[in-house]
Amino acid sequence: MTQTADHSASSPGNPLDRAIQLLGMAREELERAQGGAGAHLEDALVEAEDTIDEQQAKIAAARTADEDEAEATGDADRRRSAWFPTYRAV
Q: What is the pLDDT of residue 79?
A: 74
CA 73 to chain centroid, in Å, comes to 22
Residue 43 has pLDDT above 80, yes or no: yes
Q: Is the pLDDT of residue 17 over 50?
A: yes
Percent of the chain at pLDDT above 70? 77
pLDDT at 73: 85
pTM metric for this prediction: 0.69
DSSP H or E stretch at residue 60: helix 39-73
Domain chopping of the chain, boundaries: 13-83
Question: How many CB atoms are closer than 10 A to CB 79?
Answer: 16
CA angle 47, 53, 54 (to 5 degrees): 90
